[in-house]
Chain A
Amino acid sequence: MNRQIATFNLGDSRLGIDILLIKEIYRHMSITPIPDSPPHLKGLMNLRGRVVTVIDLNVCLNRPSSEPIETSRLLVLKTDDEIGKYRQSGLPGNISLGHDIVGLLIDQMDDVITIQNSDILPAPPNLEETEDALIQGVIKQGEELIIILDVNEVLKKIMQACSSTE
């Protein structure tokens, strides 16, 4: 079965997320920081009247945080309500995105690639410092390695970080 993966750059690596999970890619960012919150949360943003929680993907992946640059975009994820209809049509795993809109801050968008489930390989153990749990697998495209993120786990990690602050 064909899957489409939206790929993007963050730091030195190329990452990917199933396109079915993405609501939109947003450009104009005016992020309100949240005082006294874990570093995973970059802040809050207004997306046409709805409040989006902006996530610093770098922090989640145990990398140093970076500030938005010219090419930076916000990958806005769908909510549980919105992915509901894809559940039957081959959305991998039991994904729960919650009811709040979440946006992932990335450095630059890249192509959308079409792959087969069988193209996804297990992550090599030497893959930087990123926790295994957050990685669904990797795809080899020529020389390049694309890391497919497990969005579920990313959100779980953030939730944990948030619960432990108080």
Chain B
Amino acid sequence: MMDQDELIAVFVEESIQHLESIEPDLLTMEQDLDNIDPDRVNGIFRAVHSIKGASGFFGLHKIGTLSHVMENLLSLLREEKMSVTTEFIDALFSGIDALRTMFDDVGNSEQIDIETQIDQLTSLLNASTSNPLTFNTSPLSSLPLTHATSNPSPLNQSESEVSESNSLATDPLATSHDSTTDKIGTDKAGTDKIGTDKAGTDKAGTDKGGKEVVMHQKSVGNKNAQGCQGITLESKIVTVKEKAETGKHSRTFDIPENMLDRFLKNGQWLYTITVYVKKDLTDKGKTPLDLINAIVSTGELIESRLDIDSIHGLLDCLDNEITFVFAFATILEKEFLPLALDIPEEQIQVIDTGQSHSLSQIETSTQIESQTIIEETIEAEPKGQIVEKTETEPKEQIEAKTEKKLQTPAESKTETEPKARLERKKQIVPNISMEKELKTSHPIQTEEKIRVGVTFLNDLVNLAGEMVLGRNQLNQITMPLVKETPGLNSVIQHISRITTEMQEKIMQMRMQPVSMIFGKFQRVVRDLAKKLNKEIKLVTHGEDVELDKSIIEALSDPLTHLIRNSVDHGIESPEDREKAGKPRQGSIQLKAYHQAGHVYIDIIDDGGGIDCTLVGEKAVEKELITREQMEEMGEKELASLIFKPGFSTAKQISAVSGRGVGMDVVMTNIKQLGGTVDIESTLLEGTTISLVLPLTLAIVSGLVIRTAGQHFILPEANIDELVRIKPDEIESRIDYIQNSCVLRLREMLLPLISLGDVLGLNHNSFVIKSDNSGKDQIEKEKQIKQHRYTTKQPTKNKQIQISKQTDPMRVAKQTDPMRVLVIKHGNSQFGLQVDAVENIEEIVVKPLPRYLKNQKCFSGASIMGNGSVSLILDAAGLFEKAKLHHIDLDRYRKKNRVDTRQDGKDIQTLLLFTNNTSERFALPLELISRIERIKASSIESIKDEQYLQYQGQKLRLVFLEDYLPVSRPERSPDDTIGVIVPKQMKHPMGIVIHLVEGTINAVVDIDTRSIMAPGLFGSAILENKITLLPDMYRLFELAAPEWYLHRSVLKGKGDGNEGRDKTQKILIVEDTPFFRMIEKDYLTSSGYDVLEAENGRQALSILSEQAVDGVILDIIMPEMDGWQTIRAIRADSRLKDLPVMAVTSLAEDIDPGEGLKAGFTQWEAKLNKERLLEKLAHMLKQGAKHEKEVA
């Protein structure tokens, strides 16, 4: 038995859920005011009703009163006595808001003033009904009255009906207990009767029957109910019925009239409850006394009966359930009874007192009946009643019989009574709408759920984290024992897998769909748009995308802000929109989707876009940036300025949102979640703001690195690539610019910082080698610290600092290779020099103790596999601490770019690898995300496909020998193999290799003739060896055609290629034959016609001769580079609107904003097939649109 406090919590929770479910329904209703779906109205009605019902029980009068008025209004709508208007919806919304406020603080709900809402609602009510209703503050007592007034109905009619039915009810009851043969007879008779029934009422439909009729009867009963008279009437029935069945072993109950009267007056419900002695009591370890105590404390026991019918003798007395049926009056609504008595809901039935508190109540009881019916029939089978269940037997017969078995007095009394039915049907015919609504309510099958507190869940997450740690430790300790101990390996693997799975499941428990927050935005947009006199439609996609609960919660505010912003500043007024040739109604799209292990949430509006120059001017005016800086910025960068603190472009800061006021808060909030914000805006066309969020906060994949003998963790998400510099290359690849150190990486110059320096771990007195024992390290550390803190001489400190600056020279002298992590930092990158890179671990992030909150370099701590604590590095903090001269470096890089080019040809970096055969392969390094070393035994086979569990995903493995004309290697499960994981794939796939030979920087001259096969670009001679160049994306297509099918389908349908009546011609301008080929392959495979040019000059001559639909332009080319080419193209009046996409292998290096300013339509990284094609299609579409507009 729950106490009231607990019950009230359940009530509040459920009510809030109800309110949440109402809102979208109301919004949908509002969209189409003339065409209201009665189901929807009913849904709302039911929700409001349940709130009202329970509020009375808890003595929450204000909630009761308000919901009661709302219910009345809804009931009018339900009966089609009024039509839906905007005022109506508004009134309901304000009611819902008031209810929500009250539920938020139930304890004080009585103090809240709801007069306005009530007035609003009542005025609507009075306006729409000729006989105004009055309201009582006690909803429960006033309810029957209002029902009565709205449904006047002749009393004598129903009375006669019912008495008639009772007299006849005896007949089928008697037969049901006769021999089986007799039963068939009766059944048939029953069918016949129903037949006549139907004929008599001229009703269509063949075998809907019993159940429907029952419902009719009930709805009539409900409608006919008339206050006290109704009660008298119904109580008579109960008594009469009981008499009719006396003598049979009946399970009906005799309820004295005066008692019934009293129950109804007190607003109590009557139930019959079936208790299975074994299932409900013995199995749960309860005694019958417990049950009786529970009953007595909840309500009033009217009568009970122990049913021993099912026991036929000693043999089955143990197998068959003894049932205990009791009639019971209580103030509790049906929803609460299962909780209060610990009895499954289906065993509880409401006695229709003819004055049912609402229709919904009856409906639920009907649904449950139909369930029990099925159960009962099955149970009945072994008892010799198989005949009953023949195929031909009409449904209603089974129902009728089981009804009798269950003996719900109100149901069975008319159940098998054709005449009574006839009567009722006649009466029902005019009321079709009521019937329809009842028919459509199907019992909803939902999974059983339990509520768990968030703290409990968090504990579980923590424990799961601990378990992962334990598993890691176990793995480490058992590693050397595995070989000697047979069976240990499999046990370890088993535990390992279970731990991972368990952790995943637990993390999943915290995952919630974004619909949790998306849902409320419909309302936000509606209200705001109304206030601002705008017409806006909000479209949401991907509501089922899930995120960690904590992220979902933290996301609510920033998203609300962004949406409000879009409504307020993004979308123009309908008039302006019309002038601009846009539809009056603006649209905001809210899109959630997964990409590359992150969740993206896009807010796309088709409004006016952001005026970047205006933003720039404003920023200069506010002294956020200098004019010089502004002039160097691209559009995107300028647009991003709105996220700077203290920025607002809104000429008038409205109450709703001043763009800029709080945009920086959005940025901060998202950053706190480990996410990023991206903005893309086209003036007059709209703005897209993308939030990129991690799936979860608690567990991240991190790279364990070591510097100065100490371990640190760097979240993998921050790392772009790992670079190993050979000792003899160090000198040539490290440069100094204005006293800061840079690393030459391909064609870029990366600012380089040393982790040891930033953290103050490297000291000129000792260069720490990796094999230093930890303790020594600590001791040395200590000395240094002591020195630093006790001397308190800033000048001295500075000297140490300066001497550290010369460290790269120290590095250069090293004989070990140098390790550099290339780290993403906003739009740029920097290199972090560390002593060693150890491995990747899934780490549980623990917050830093408060003493370390000021530490910029660390974002958290974690416990490693060996049980020690490691600090998690914060890339941004490190960078800030190192204070690099960002802008200077950028300039330098740009200047230097041209110089680094060698004899006009692009050098490719290729990964060389073998497949345990004599062939050698190469793949462009840029395509590869990482190479995993795994045990061949960890590959799992599913039918003919091989998978690897990888970062919580199923990585589909592709074997080269299956698709390429190469020899087949021998594989044994004990092998350690490599898996190449490509970058940015929609579907996780990997290529199985044997060994990585290394990387090579070379000018690749591809031979496409001598060795050719699908999935192969061709071959090349690299380092004097024939090397095959597989076409990775093609291989994937071959391996998993099903994942790529949709693309060709789309092609056929023309998605993204709309208006493409002829094949589109694309010019590829690219100096490197290798890339040219790959790009050409991508495009031709997608159905484009391709022209090729080796440099800008060639391209221009082609463009002058023939028309193309689009150009893909490389930036770095000999003779005439991409920048020059685009200027030339844009200078030509014929070509100024030609879509041109820039592709670059240095996606991070050059700022896309700059590119767009120069005149490029799009900007994309080379070799990213999916995105390239996507962007190309988009670009061409835009171009076509533009042309039309111009025309």
The reply to whether the CB of A35 lies closer than 8 angstroms to some CB of chain B is yes
Known contacts A49-B466, A51-B869, A162-B854: does B861 contact A33 (CB below 8 Å)?
no
Interface stretch (choices B666-674, B777-785, B1176-1184): B777-785
Asked whether B869 lies within 8 Å of A36 as measured between CB atoms, the reply is no
- Which listed residue, B778, B779, B849, B867, touches A46 by the CB 8 Å rule? B867
Asked whether B786 lies within 8 Å of A39 as measured between CB atoms, the reply is yes
Known contacts A51-B846, A100-B849: does B863 contact A34 (CB below 8 Å)?
no
- Contact residues in B for A50 (Cβ distance below 8 Å): 846
Asked whether B759 lies within 8 Å of A35 as measured between CB atoms, the reply is yes
Known contacts A36-B759, A158-B851: does B871 contact A44 (CB below 8 Å)?
yes
CA distance in complex: A44, B850 (Å): 12
The reply to whether the CB of B157 lies closer than 8 angstroms to some CB of chain A is no
Range for the number of chain A residues in contact with chain B: 20 to 34
Residue in B781, B786, B849 whose Cβ sees the most chain A Cβ within 10 Å:
B849
Asked whether A36 lies within 8 Å of B760 as measured between CB atoms, the reply is yes
Asked whether B789 lies within 8 Å of A38 as measured between CB atoms, the reply is yes
The reply to whether the CB of A166 lies closer than 8 angstroms to some CB of chain B is yes
The reply to whether the CB of A37 lies closer than 8 angstroms to some CB of chain B is yes
CA distance in complex: A166, B855 (Å): 7
List CB contacts (< 8 Å) of B777-809 with chain A: 777-779, 781-782, 785-786, 789
The reply to whether the CB of B1159 lies closer than 8 angstroms to some CB of chain A is no
CA distance in complex: A40, B1153 (Å): 48
The reply to whether the CB of B489 lies closer than 8 angstroms to some CB of chain A is no
Asked whether A98 lies within 8 Å of B850 as measured between CB atoms, the reply is yes
- Contact residues in B for A98 (Cβ distance below 8 Å): 850
The reply to whether the CB of A32 lies closer than 8 angstroms to some CB of chain B is yes
B298, chain A: closest CB distance, angstroms:
36
Closest-by-CB residue of A relative to B759 is A35
List CB contacts (< 8 Å) of A101-127 with chain B: 101-102
Closest-by-CB residue of B relative to A40 is B851
The reply to whether the CB of A159 lies closer than 8 angstroms to some CB of chain B is yes
CA distance in complex: A35, B754 (Å): 14
CA distance in complex: A99, B869 (Å): 18
Asked whether A33 lies within 8 Å of B869 as measured between CB atoms, the reply is no
Asked whether A65 lies within 8 Å of B782 as measured between CB atoms, the reply is yes
CA distance in complex: A51, B869 (Å): 7
- Contact residues in A for B654 (Cβ distance below 8 Å): none
The reply to whether the CB of A53 lies closer than 8 angstroms to some CB of chain B is yes
Known contacts A35-B759, A36-B759, A49-B466: does B869 contact A44 (CB below 8 Å)?
yes
- Contact residues in A for B867 (Cβ distance below 8 Å): 30, 46
Asked whether A162 lies within 8 Å of B759 as measured between CB atoms, the reply is no
- Contact residues in B for A39 (Cβ distance below 8 Å): 782, 785-786, 789
List CB contacts (< 8 Å) of B441-498 with chain A: 462, 465-466, 469
CA distance in complex: A98, B849 (Å): 9
- Contact residues in B for A2 (Cβ distance below 8 Å): none
A140, chain B: closest CB distance, angstroms:
33
Closest-by-CB residue of B relative to A64 is B786
Asked whether B854 lies within 8 Å of A163 as measured between CB atoms, the reply is yes
- Contact residues in B for A166 (Cβ distance below 8 Å): 854-856
Asked whether B854 lies within 8 Å of A51 as measured between CB atoms, the reply is no
CA distance in complex: A26, B711 (Å): 23
- Contact residues in A for B782 (Cβ distance below 8 Å): 33, 39, 65, 67
CA distance in complex: A60, B779 (Å): 18
The reply to whether the CB of A31 lies closer than 8 angstroms to some CB of chain B is yes
Asked whether B871 lies within 8 Å of A34 as measured between CB atoms, the reply is yes
Asked whether B857 lies within 8 Å of A30 as measured between CB atoms, the reply is no
The reply to whether the CB of B150 lies closer than 8 angstroms to some CB of chain A is no
Binary flags per residue of B504-530, CB closer than 8 Å to A gives 1, else 0: 000000000000000000000000000
Closest-by-CB residue of A relative to B466 is A49
Closest-by-CB residue of A relative to B756 is A35
The reply to whether the CB of B934 lies closer than 8 angstroms to some CB of chain A is no
- Contact residues in B for A141 (Cβ distance below 8 Å): none
Known contacts A53-B849, A65-B782: does B854 contact A45 (CB below 8 Å)?
no
The reply to whether the CB of A5 lies closer than 8 angstroms to some CB of chain B is no
- Contact residues in B for A100 (Cβ distance below 8 Å): 849-851
List CB contacts (< 8 Å) of A19-64 with chain B: 30-39, 41, 43-46, 48-51, 53, 64
Asked whether B851 lies within 8 Å of A41 as measured between CB atoms, the reply is yes
CA distance in complex: A117, B711 (Å): 47
CA distance in complex: A60, B857 (Å): 24
The reply to whether the CB of A94 lies closer than 8 angstroms to some CB of chain B is no
Asked whether B761 lies within 8 Å of A35 as measured between CB atoms, the reply is yes
Chief secondary structure at chain B's binding surface:
mixed
Asked whether B851 lies within 8 Å of A53 as measured between CB atoms, the reply is yes
CA distance in complex: A10, B778 (Å): 20
- Contact residues in A for B469 (Cβ distance below 8 Å): 49
Asked whether A35 lies within 8 Å of B850 as measured between CB atoms, the reply is no
The reply to whether the CB of B683 lies closer than 8 angstroms to some CB of chain A is no
- Contact residues in A for B863 (Cβ distance below 8 Å): 46, 49, 51
The reply to whether the CB of A71 lies closer than 8 angstroms to some CB of chain B is no
List CB contacts (< 8 Å) of A77-94 with chain B: none
- Contact residues in A for B850 (Cβ distance below 8 Å): 98-100, 159
The reply to whether the CB of B868 lies closer than 8 angstroms to some CB of chain A is yes
CA distance in complex: A34, B856 (Å): 12
B875, chain A: closest CB distance, angstroms:
16
Binary flags per residue of B339-351, CB closer than 8 Å to A gives 1, else 0: 0000000000000
List CB contacts (< 8 Å) of B805-851 with chain A: 846, 848-851
Binary flags per residue of B1134-1158, CB closer than 8 Å to A gives 1, else 0: 0000000000000000000000000
- Contact residues in B for A102 (Cβ distance below 8 Å): 849
Asked whether A45 lies within 8 Å of B869 as measured between CB atoms, the reply is yes
- Which listed residue, B465, B466, B781, B854, touches A165 by the CB 8 Å rule? B854
Residue in A46, A50, A100 whose Cβ sees the most chain B Cβ within 10 Å:
A46
Asked whether A37 lies within 8 Å of B849 as measured between CB atoms, the reply is no
Known contacts A39-B786, A44-B871: does B778 contact A33 (CB below 8 Å)?
yes
The reply to whether the CB of B710 lies closer than 8 angstroms to some CB of chain A is yes
The reply to whether the CB of B180 lies closer than 8 angstroms to some CB of chain A is no
B862, chain A: closest CB distance, angstroms:
8
Asked whether B761 lies within 8 Å of A65 as measured between CB atoms, the reply is no
The reply to whether the CB of B585 lies closer than 8 angstroms to some CB of chain A is no
Asked whether B786 lies within 8 Å of A35 as measured between CB atoms, the reply is no
Closest-by-CB residue of A relative to B469 is A49
Closest-by-CB residue of B relative to A32 is B869
CA distance in complex: A36, B710 (Å): 13
CA distance in complex: A48, B863 (Å): 10
A35, chain B: closest CB distance, angstroms:
4
List CB contacts (< 8 Å) of B997-1034 with chain A: none
Known contacts A67-B779, A100-B850: does B855 contact A34 (CB below 8 Å)?
yes
- Which listed residue, A32, A158, A162, touches B710 by the CB 8 Å rule? A32
B701, chain A: closest CB distance, angstroms:
19
- Which listed residue, B465, B779, B781, B852, touches A49 by the CB 8 Å rule? B465
CA distance in complex: A162, B849 (Å): 11
- Contact residues in A for B128 (Cβ distance below 8 Å): none
CA distance in complex: A165, B867 (Å): 28
The reply to whether the CB of B186 lies closer than 8 angstroms to some CB of chain A is no
CA distance in complex: A99, B786 (Å): 28
- Contact residues in A for B785 (Cβ distance below 8 Å): 39
The reply to whether the CB of B870 lies closer than 8 angstroms to some CB of chain A is yes
CA distance in complex: A30, B870 (Å): 11
Closest-by-CB residue of A relative to B858 is A34
CA distance in complex: A43, B869 (Å): 9
Known contacts A46-B868, A49-B466: does B852 contact A33 (CB below 8 Å)?
no
- Contact residues in B for A65 (Cβ distance below 8 Å): 782, 786
CA distance in complex: A158, B462 (Å): 28
Please give 17 more A-B residue pairs, beta carbons under 8 A apart, in addition to A35-B781, A98-B850. Answer: A32-B710, A32-B711, A32-B870, A33-B781, A36-B759, A36-B857, A44-B861, A46-B863, A48-B466, A49-B466, A49-B469, A51-B869, A67-B779, A67-B782, A100-B849, A162-B854, A163-B854
What 6 pairs between A and B have smallest CB-CB spacing? A35-B759, A100-B849, A44-B869, A49-B466, A53-B849, A166-B854
Identify 12 residue pairs between A and B in the complex whose beta-carbon atoms are under 8 Å apart, listed by A's number.
Answer: A30-B867, A31-B778, A34-B852, A34-B858, A35-B871, A39-B786, A41-B851, A51-B846, A51-B869, A100-B849, A162-B854, A163-B854
